[in-house]
Structure 1
Amino acid sequence: MENKKNEHLIIEEKGAVDWVILNRPDSLNALNLEMVTALRDYFRGMATRPERRIIVLRGAGRAFCAGLDLKEEETQDLNSPQQGLAFQRSIAEIYIAMRRCPQPIISLISGAACGGGLSLALASDIRIADTTAKMNCAYIRIGLSGCDMGSSYFLPRLVGASLAAELILTGKFILAQRALDIGLVSQVVELGQLENAVEEDLKLMLSNSPLGLRLSKEALNVNIDTASLEAAIALEDRNQILCSLTEDSKEGLVAFTERRAPHYRDI
């Protein structure tokens, strides 16, 4: 295991999986400028690192991420619309980079996931929560719009328009069990069990071909907004032919017939 430390963002490389840890526990992992920059640069960089196959995102301490740190100087010293918009866009680039990076992202949510922290979870591919999880669109509770950092894009697609409107317009907290009931998270486990819970998904994803995994995320990304069934199937057809012409595809078929685990080399 290799650790790459930034003061506020820790990257642990465990095999082909990156464990990305938000590391400001005393501030409930609220986003300051350093963390924003580190997250944005990390997710952008993953586009050219196919050997890193999966990303697990979690927070240190008792929270996932409490959103933007409003006590930090850089969030208060914005004296013009131009400065404000530039700062806003710099944060928003994190979520765009998360969706663009080819690796599946799994968020492990314990404690608060608020505002921009909620959007980190929403921009992930899989969300697993423990029983302490509490999430909200915090922006509207401080005099702003409830639509921020992709919330108006992600939430309707995940839970439907009516539930998205309820969460965005009220800023109310949604707790773990209701999040599971409406499909916002895929599992809820007891406190301290998140790492155990994610192991099955990691094992199964790592047993699939690297290209197949990347193209599956791509197709899910594109086809959620596609114009027609025909367009969705056209992308699926293209991806299947790309995968079928690889050496890994041949290995997968042989391993299946021989009833053994495949040995994929991403070729």
Structure 2
Amino acid sequence: MSFTQLDLSGYKAKHFLWRVEESVGYVTLNIPDRKNPLTFDSYAELRDLFRNLVCDKDIRAIVIDGAGDNFCSGGDVHDIIGPLTRMTMPELLTFTRMTGDLVKAIRGCPQVVISAVDGICAGAGAIIAMVSDMRIGTLRAKTAFLFTRVGLAGCDMGACAILPRLIGQGRAAELMFTGRAMTAEEGERWGFFNQLVAAEQLLPESTRLARTLATGPMFAHSMTKNMLNQEWTMSIEQALEAEAQAQAICMQTEDFRRAFEAFSAKRKPEFVGK
């Protein structure tokens, strides 16, 4: 049996910037004059890219950021919000399911995904940051789940399921009911941001973390990500059994053997990702 392997290092993105350096893929949302909003096309292309990352074993970590001084302002008012008011129910459901598919693709790709958040991080932009595996922010980051501000439910793209797990039920409820922006300091204190850095250090620090992860055991990282996703719906007993199986699988990898040999030789292990 053969499986298709993709090389996305030369992929030419149409609706955002994409590059690969030292096994790290960089997605840059790139409409800075409008604070990097999402469009129907960029939603779909992001979904397809993250789906395809499953088949590229050379890319081992992902950094998502925004051009200029902002991360993402959410769905574009004119390109998305306006047209949505004129759609039929089946068309609306097709769209909302597509946005959910982007969340599934980010959570489902084996690479660790890091969002580098500066300035405005709102609506769907806040969702992309939320569903990333880790988030690094700047002191001027403002994260808003502002769906109620446009007459929609505070929940969107998994927010009611995921955000309370990151920052707690009460804090998530406040942000989703009011639509107010969470400050950077609140985000770090509540556990949304893994760390805050100066604006000029955002991409360098995100790159440093991504490259550190990229040199680690890719198979084990992907297993960790998979278990973090799956164990939400498991009992403790189920989780213990699932983790026992996951570790037994990892113990059969070359990376596990290489780590033991490197430890015995008092040198740093070189992981191959299998």
Bin of the TM-score, shorter chain as denominator length: over 0.9
In structure 2, what is the equivalent of residue 135 of structure 1?
A: 143
Shift in CA distance, 102/237, structure 1 to aligned 2, threshold 3 Å = same
How many residue pairs match? The answer is: 266
1:210 matches 2:218:
yes
In structure 2, relative to structure 1, the CA distance for the partners of 1:204 and 1:256 (3 Å cut) is farther
**Alignment partner of 1:66 out of 61, 73, 76:** 73
* Structure 2: 5+ residue stretches without partners: 1-8
Structure 2 letter corresponding to 1:197: E
- Is 1:83 aligned to 2:87, yes or no? no
Once the two structures are TM-superposed, the CA of residue 126 in structure 1 deviates from its matched residue by 0.2
CA distance in 2, matches of 1:51, 1:5: 17
Deviation at 1:149, TM superposition (A): 1.5
Tell me if structure 2 keeps the 8 A contact 1:28–1:66.
yes
1:23 to 22, 30, 36: 30
Match of 1:52 among 56, 59, 71: 59
Distance 1:136 1:74 in 2: 17
Tell me if 1:255 matches 2:262.
yes
CA contact (8 A) 1:22 1:29 kept: yes
What CA distance in whole angstroms lies between the structure 2 residues aligned with 1:59 and 1:244?
A: 39
The separation in 1 between residues aligned to 2:89 and 2:46, in whole angstroms, is 24
Report what 2:4 is aligned to: none
Residue ranges of structure 1 left out of the alignment (5+ in a row): none
Residue 113 of structure 1 contacts residue 133 of structure 1 at CA under 8 Å; is this kept in 2? yes
Indicate conservation of the 8 Å contact 2:255/2:273, yes or no.
Answer: yes
Q: 2: CA distance between counterparts of 1:68 and 1:47?
A: 26
Counterpart secondary structure, 2:233: coil
Task: Determine the C-alpha separation between the residues in 2 that align with 1:134 and 1:82.
Answer: 33
Contact 1:207 1:262 survives alignment (8 Å): no
Within the alignment, does 1:265 sit opposite 2:265 as a pair?
A: no
Alpha-carbon deviation of 1:200?
4.2
Query: Cα deviation per residue 1:178-205 (whole Å; 9 max; x = unaligned)?
Result: 1111111110111111122224423432
Deviation at 1:3, TM superposition (A): 5.9
Q: Which deviations, in whole Å up to 9, do the C-alpha atoms of 1:203-231 show, x marking residues without a partner?
A: 432342121111011111111332x2121
Letter in 2 for 1:31: L
User: Which contiguous aligned blocks of 4+ residues in structure 1 show a shift greater than 6 angstroms?
Assistant: none
The answer as to whether partners of 2:22 and 2:211 remain within 8 angstroms in 1 is: no
TM-score by length of 2: 0.92
Q: How does 1:1-267 map to 2 (within 5 A)?
A: 4-72=11-79, 75-76=82-83, 78-226=86-234, 228-267=235-274
Q: Which residue of 1 aligns with 2:5?
A: none
Report the secondary structure of 1:72's partner residue. helix
Following TM superposition, by how much is the alpha carbon of 1:238 offset from its aligned partner in structure 2, in angstroms?
1.1
Q: Report the residue type matching 2:107 in the other structure.
A: R
Question: TM-score scaled by structure 1?
Answer: 0.94
Amino acid across the alignment from 2:13: N
Percent identical: 32
C-alpha contact 1:31 1:65 (8 A) present in aligned 2: yes
**242 and 172 in structure 1: CA distance in 2 versus 1, 3 angstrom threshold:** same
Conserved in 1, the CA contact under 8 Å of 2:136 and 2:193? yes
Return the letter of the residue paired with 1:99.
R
